[in-house]
Amino acid sequence: MFCFICNDRKNNYLDTETLDFAMRMLSDIAGGNRIIGIISHVTELNERVDKQVQVKKTPTESKITLKT
């Protein structure tokens, strides 16, 4: 099963309570055979996710980096 979450905050910020809630929810649904995908520009959320596929655009191409 695949779950996809898009976090689109205009100010790129989540308060601590909301961030903790989001991480608890992700942890709850990430068990078993589930793959969780998140697209986020919120730095605090990105710092808490331990395994990431990061895509960075350059003027000529996009680069993919795996963070484990």
Nearest by Cα to 50 from 38, 34, 64: 38
Q: How many residues does the structure list for the chain?
A: 68
The rounded distance, in Å, linking the Cα atoms of 31 and 10 is 30
pLDDT of the residue at 60? 95
pLDDT of the residue at 11? 60
Mean pLDDT split into 10-residue runs, the chain, 68 residues: 56 76 83 76 80 89 91
Q: Where are the domains of the chain?
A: 2-67
Place of tokens 């905050």: 9
> How far is C-alpha 50 from the geometric centre of its chain's CA atoms?
9
The neighbour count for residue 22, using CB atoms within 10 Å, is: 19
The rounded distance, in Å, linking the Cα atoms of 5 and 14 is 15
